């Protein structure tokens, strides 16, 4: 059946796919909480199965990313810049990638966290995941923003969401400082190589929030034009 | 002089005209109604009913001018008066050429327009079969210009309509409340504009002669009647606050859905007023020559049965094939919300009705594309495929010569058979 002129005029909208991708990224990183709980409990069997789950979900997000990229030909006329859109997508994807790296590193080296840190660390991970959840909420506003032509009440709402994302991110920074100083205090008693990697894990978890914040600011830039 | 093959000519003209009308119904109407189905304002069944009624009304009430242009506006009657049979062969050839070209092109998925095919075909046979001077090039030039201008105008109207929707409704603190206030005015606008343009261009042929004031009064009355019906329909809507959780404008769009129904009627009316002429115009030309005993009469009323034939052809095309096309168009457009679809469709409908009133045959589909692009420029569309614009340009370049060459071919074949 021949496609009619009118239906071929409409390209496939990138809005839903971008949102679906972010949803699947979020789905992937929330698994870090049960993962870390298993690690703290030194239940390596459970931790490994969680790590596999994270890797699998990361793969699913990757697939969605590739699909969206393929469906964005240059001839598409959109109210947002194609480049900005692709950059938001890349940022989103990096969050899932980071989660996979964190899980992989911990499993690979069987890193054991000092007991005094357990509670603070879980809180830290959860807060970083919150940052990404906030980015997801903002991305979910995209269809409403499209509807209003990026103006008015919707835009103000979106800006307040991004502001909240920024404040969550700075909270995670503070948590990070606290954990680092706790490790620093006990550094001398621990195995130096393990300490090195511990710092690395802390860094990477913090990057989840950083990346989420960058998704937010990229998103803002995309809408500002 | 009498024509020995008079009846044969009429039968052939009816058959070819019917074929052409079928093509219009099968293809063109789907494009015209597609935005309404795509935005979920109408089901396919409703779209077919709306199309059947308003295409017919448009053709009957406002289709006269374009039909006149197609049947005699582009040719110099004086040059043809000595040889009426040439005009008959030519019109038959044009119908056949345009019909076949449309069939081929739509199979291949090219965005060709019925209007362009028939105009190309008529100009072709006249210029080659009769003589270069037989074509009124000035008039044809104006028509060709209008093909570029009409999508542009629809684009501008669509742009401003959508901007107004954003300012008045979507970008406010209470879109639902404002939609209930302003949408009835848009409905008024739909009824008023379409009625006014239609009446200004005369309803003399159905025995109505009205003064300017009367025109305005009646148009305003029609606007208010539409508005009232719309308000009742909006009152009867059920709003579900939970539906707004996922997409905050779900309930607002329900109100625009009511508006879109009116716009869909306007679009079908507009399409009927312009495109039915493509099938009916040449048929009317043949019938009038035969009935006048071979005289190329410049002034003759169009028999109602010809319009009826055209309308029936469109209806059959719609029911046998067009509904499938509407379905593909409708399901293919997921990003078209009623608020966007309304702006694009109304822009196109108004442009087409004005063109019909002026007797200019334009392409409804291309005008609608212009309307959609206008809404897109107002940042109203998620993603538009700009390749279509290029293929439309290409189809302009290809369709005119294709229609012309085919019609020249058929012209000489018919001439060979009958003389």
Q: What is the domain extent for residue B37?
A: 6-418
CA distance linking residue B8 with residue B23, whole number of Å: 23
When comparing pLDDT for B72 and B411, which is higher? Answer: B411
When comparing pLDDT for B104 and A172, which is higher? Answer: A172
**pLDDT over threshold 90, residue B396:** no
Q: What are phi and psi of B81, to 5 degrees?
A: -65, -30
B382/A153 touch (CB, cutoff 8 Å), yes or no: no
Task: Give the one of B31, B171, B379 whose C-beta lies nearest to A4's C-beta.
Answer: B31
pLDDT at A202: 94
In this prediction, residue A2 has a pLDDT band, given cuts at 50, 70 and 90, of very low
**pLDDT over threshold 70, residue B300:** no
In a domain, B107, yes or no: yes
pLDDT at B297: 59
Q: What is the percentage of chain B residues whose pLDDT exceeds 70?
A: 94
How much is the pTM?
Answer: 0.87
Question: Closest by alpha carbon to B258, among B341, B149, B166?
Answer: B341
**pLDDT over threshold 90, residue B104:** no
pLDDT at B205: 64
> Chain A residues with CB inside 8 Å of B367's CB?
none
In this prediction, residue B94 has a pLDDT band, given cuts at 50, 70 and 90, of very high
In this prediction, residue A210 has a pLDDT band, given cuts at 50, 70 and 90, of very high
> Chain B residues with CB inside 8 Å of A85's CB?
none
In this prediction, residue B301 has a pLDDT band, given cuts at 50, 70 and 90, of low
B336/A76 touch (CB, cutoff 8 Å), yes or no: no
When pLDDT is averaged across residues A93-102 and rounded to a whole number, the result is: 96
> Chain A residues with CB inside 8 Å of B391's CB?
5
CATH architecture of A14-224: Up-down Bundle (1.20)
Question: Closest by alpha carbon to B95, among B240, B278, B241?
Answer: B278
A4/B35 touch (CB, cutoff 8 Å), yes or no: no
**pLDDT over threshold 80, residue B295:** no
ipTM surpassing 0.95, yes or no?
Answer: no
Our count of domains for chain B comes to 1
What is the distance in angstroms between the Cα of A3 and the nearest Cα belonging to chain B?
6
- Chain mean position to CA B353: 8
pLDDT at B202: 63
Of the listed ranges A29-33, A148-152, B14-18, B280-284, the one predicted with least confidence: A148-152
In this prediction, residue B308 has a pLDDT band, given cuts at 50, 70 and 90, of confident
In this prediction, residue B41 has a pLDDT band, given cuts at 50, 70 and 90, of confident
Residue-wise pLDDT tens digits, B114-136: 899 999 999 999 998 888 888 88
Residue-wise pLDDT tens digits, B330-382: 777 778 889 999 999 999 999 999 999 888 999 998 999 999 999 999 888 88
pLDDT at B34: 82
A149/B379 touch (CB, cutoff 8 Å), yes or no: yes
What is the distance in angstroms between the Cα of A124 and the nearest Cα belonging to chain B?
30
Question: In 10 A of CB A159, how many CB atoms?
Answer: 13
A152/B170 touch (CB, cutoff 8 Å), yes or no: yes
What is the distance in angstroms between the Cα of B30 and the nearest Cα belonging to chain A?
8
Burial code (b: 16+ CB inside 10 Å, e: under 16) for B113-138 equals bbbbbbbbbbbbbbbbbbeeebbbee
Q: What is the percentage of chain A residues whose pLDDT exceeds 70?
A: 98
In a domain, B157, yes or no: yes
Residue-wise pLDDT tens digits, B219-257: 999 999 999 999 999 988 888 877 777 777 888 999 999
When pLDDT is averaged across residues A1-6 and rounded to a whole number, the result is: 61
A149/B171 touch (CB, cutoff 8 Å), yes or no: yes
In a domain, B322, yes or no: yes
> Chain A residues with CB inside 8 Å of B24's CB?
none
Question: Closest by alpha carbon to B318, among B58, B43, B14, B23?
Answer: B23
CA distance linking residue A2 with residue B256, whole number of Å: 30
B385/A11 touch (CB, cutoff 8 Å), yes or no: yes
In this prediction, residue A1 has a pLDDT band, given cuts at 50, 70 and 90, of very low
pLDDT at B189: 94
> Chain B residues with CB inside 8 Å of A13's CB?
334-335, 382-383
A79/B170 touch (CB, cutoff 8 Å), yes or no: no
**pLDDT over threshold 50, residue A158:** yes
In a domain, B1, yes or no: no
Strand partners, B94: none
- Look over chain B and give the mean of its residue pLDDT values, rounded to a whole number: 86
Interface of A with B (CB under 8 A): 1-15, 73, 75-79, 143-144, 146-154
In a domain, B96, yes or no: yes
CA end-to-end distance (rounded Å), chain B: 15
A191: exposed, middle or buried (Cβ count in 10 Å: 0-12, 13-18, 19+)? exposed
> Chain A residues with CB inside 8 Å of B162's CB?
149
Contact A80, A222 (CB under 8 A): yes
What is the distance in angstroms between the Cα of B247 and the nearest Cα belonging to chain A?
7
pLDDT at B296: 64
When pLDDT is averaged across residues B3-18 and rounded to a whole number, the result is: 84
**pLDDT over threshold 60, residue B204:** yes
Residue-wise pLDDT tens digits, A48-96: 999 999 999 999 999 999 999 988 888 888 888 899 999 999 999 999 9
Domain residue spans in chain A?
14-224
pLDDT at B1: 42
Contact B115, B277 (CB under 8 A): no
> Chain A residues with CB inside 8 Å of B334's CB?
10, 13
CA end-to-end distance (rounded Å), chain A: 39
A6/B392 touch (CB, cutoff 8 Å), yes or no: no
């Amino acid at each position: 059946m021949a496609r009619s002129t009118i239906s071929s005029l409409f390209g496939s909208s990138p809005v839903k796919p971008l949102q679906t991708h972010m949803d699947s990224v979020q789905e992937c990183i929330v698994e870090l909480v049960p993962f870390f709980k298993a690690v703290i409990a030194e239940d390596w069997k459970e931790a490994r199965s969680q790590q596999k789950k994270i890797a699998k979900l990361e793969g699913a997000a990757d697939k969605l990313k590739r699909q969206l990229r393929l469906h964005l030909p240059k001839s598409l006329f959109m109210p947002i810049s194609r480049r900005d859109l692709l950059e938001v997508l890349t940022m989103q994807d990096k969050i899932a990638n980071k989660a996979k790296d964190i899980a992989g590193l911990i499993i690979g080296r069987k890193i054991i966290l000092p007991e005094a840190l357990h509670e603070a660390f879980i809180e830290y991970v959860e807060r970083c995941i919150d940052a990404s959840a906030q980015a997801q909420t903002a991305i979910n506003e995209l269809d409403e923003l499209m509807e209003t032509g990026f103006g008015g009440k919707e835009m103000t709402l979106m800006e307040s969401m991004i502001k909240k994302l920024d404040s969550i991110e700075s909270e995670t920074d503070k948590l990070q400082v606290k954990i680092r100083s706790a490790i620093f205090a006990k550094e001398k008693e621990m195995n130096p190589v393990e300490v090195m990697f511990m710092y690395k894990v802390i860094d990477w978890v913090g990057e989840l929030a950083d990346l989420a914040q960058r998704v937010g600011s990229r998103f803002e830039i995309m809408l500002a034009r | 002089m009498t024509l020995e093959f008079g009846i044969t000519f009429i039968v052939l003209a009816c058959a070819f005209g019917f074929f052409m009308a079928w093509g219009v119904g099968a293809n063109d109407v789907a494009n015209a109604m597609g935005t309404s189905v795509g935005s979920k304002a109408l089901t396919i069944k409703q779209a077919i009913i709306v199309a059947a009624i308003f295409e017919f009304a448009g053709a009957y009430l406002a289709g006269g001018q374009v039909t006149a242009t197609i049947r005699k506006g582009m040719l110099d009657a004086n040059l043809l008066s000595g040889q009426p049979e040439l005009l008959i062969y030519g019109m038959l050839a044009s119908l056949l050429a345009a019909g076949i070209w449309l069939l081929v092109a739509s199979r291949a998925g090219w965005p060709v327009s019925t209007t362009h095919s028939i105009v190309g075909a008529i100009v072709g046979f006249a210029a080659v079969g009769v003589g270069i001077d037989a074509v009124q090039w000035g008039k044809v030039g104006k028509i060709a210009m209008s093909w570029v201008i009409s999508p542009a105008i629809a684009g501008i109207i669509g742009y401003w309509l959508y901007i107004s929707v954003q300012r008045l409704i979507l970008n406010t603190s209470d879109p639902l409340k404002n939609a209930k206030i302003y949408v009835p005015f848009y409905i008024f606008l739909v009824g008023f504009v379409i009625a006014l343009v239609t009446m200004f261009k005369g309803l003399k042929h159905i025995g109505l002669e009205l003064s300017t004031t009367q025109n305005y009064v009646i148009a305003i009355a029609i606007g208010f009647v539409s508005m009232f019906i719309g308000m009742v329909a909006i009152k009867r809507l059920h709003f579900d606050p939970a539906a707004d959780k996922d997409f905050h404008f779900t309930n607002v769009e329900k109100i625009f859905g009511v508006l879109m129904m009116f716009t869909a009627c306007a679009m079908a009316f507009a399409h009927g007023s312009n495109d039915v002429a493509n099938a009916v115009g040449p048929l009317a030309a043949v019938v009038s020559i035969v009935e006048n005993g071979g005289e190329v009469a410049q002034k003759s009323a169009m028999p109602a049965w010809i319009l009826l034939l055209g309308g029936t052809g469109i209806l059959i095309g719609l029911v046998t094939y067009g509904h499938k096309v509407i379905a593909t168009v409708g399901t293919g457009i997921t990003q078209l919300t009623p608020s966007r679809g309304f702006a694009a469709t109304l822009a196109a409908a108004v442009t087409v009705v004005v063109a019909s009133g002026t007797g200019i045959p334009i392409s409804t589909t291309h005008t609608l594309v212009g309307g959609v692009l206008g809404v897109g420029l107002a940042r109203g569309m998620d993603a538009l495929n700009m390749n279509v614009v290029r293929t439309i340009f290409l189809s302009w370049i290809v369709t005119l010569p294709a229609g012309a060459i085919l019609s020249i071919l058929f012209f000489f074949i018919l001439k060979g058979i009958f003389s």
